[in-house]
């Protein structure tokens, strides 16, 4: 039997990022929590710390959204290379890079961070679904969450792009003064190289993903001291690097 019902769809809009008046990138995003995204993107993609980001201006235009960043210091020369930044898809982080050394970034080692019980991962996962309001209606968004060592969720951000969701989470933590070394992150996606790079750049000691990691992601996590967890389920998970940070229940 055929029925007709109204459906709710997730928004996906083009976002143009400018810094000090210079165009940097265009990507597809969910149009929410954009100040958080700006702070996170500035750190993880441009290397701009929170105290060096003077202002964020968000403008809604006919064609999409423009995000203007004002920084305390000039951007690095490579960031302003007009041939580097190309229009990107949802959270496409390496679009526009022309050289291998620009793509494979090696963040500094993360701190020790707290000991985290394995059960805390499952506690965070069980709570996450209830804190994804847009995805609950549309089924189309990724989420990135920050949890205390006991698994209590503190922040959750959603976006059509998994990289964007993590940047939004990192930005919200920066704006909220949350120490990235005080808990762990959980993402509803695979753990790609860039997700690990962003988490490590922010200083997160542990990243848990509900899907698989890539080989390069595991290599990067091993090298920078980050605990990488994949295939997170309510009754099991796989630890790919630095398992010593997780404790038995």
Residue 65 β-bridge partners: 15, 60
Q: What H or E segment, with its residue span, contains residue 166?
A: helix 162-176
Distance of CA 35 to the CA centre of its chain: 14
From CA 247, how far away is CA 135, in angstroms rounded?
A: 32
Active site residues: 92
From CA 73, how far away is CA 9, in angstroms rounded?
A: 40
Give every CB contact of residue 205 below 8 A, 6+ residues apart in sequence: 110, 111, 112, 113, 114, 181, 184, 225, 226, 227, 245
Task: Give which of 11, 243, 2, 21 is closest to 121, Cα–Cα.
Answer: 243
The secondary structure of 98-160, three-state, reads CCHHHHCCCCCCCCCCCCEEHHHHHHHHHHHHHHCHHHHHHCCCEEEEEECCCCCEEEEEEEC
Q: What is the largest CA-CA distance in the chain?
A: 63
Residue 30 β-bridge partners: none
């Amino acid at each position: 039997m055929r029925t007709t019902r109204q459906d709710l769809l997730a928004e996906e809009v083009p976002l143009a990022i400018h810094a000090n008046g210079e165009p940097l990138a265009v990507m597809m995003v969910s149009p929410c929590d954009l100040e958080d995204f700006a702070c996170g993107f500035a750190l993880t993609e441009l290397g701009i710390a929170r105290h060096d980001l003077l202002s964020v201006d968000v403008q809604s235009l006919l064609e999409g959204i423009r995000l203007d960043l004002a920084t305390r210091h000039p951007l690095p020369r490579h960031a302003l290379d007009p041939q580097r930044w190309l229009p990107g898809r949802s959270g496409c982080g390496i679009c526009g890079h022309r050289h291998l050394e620009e793509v494979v970034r090696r963040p500094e080692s993360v701190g020790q961070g707290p000991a985290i019980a394995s059960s805390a991962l499952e506690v965070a996962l069980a709570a996450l679904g209830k804190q994804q309001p847009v995805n609950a209606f549309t089924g189309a968004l990724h989420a990135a969450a920050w949890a205390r060592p006991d698994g209590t969720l503190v922040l959750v951000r959603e976006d059509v792009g998994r990289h964007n969701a993590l940047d939004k989470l990192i930005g919200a933590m920066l704006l909220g003064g949350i120490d990235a070394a005080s808990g762990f992150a959980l993402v509803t996606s695979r753990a790609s190289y860039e997700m690990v790079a962003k988490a490590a750049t922010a200083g997160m000691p542990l990243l848990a993903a509900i899907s698989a990691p890539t080989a390069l992601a595991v290599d990067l996590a091993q090298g920078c001291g980050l605990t990488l967890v994949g295939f997170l389920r309510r009754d099991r998970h796989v630890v790919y690097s630095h398992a010593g940070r997780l404790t038995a229940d």
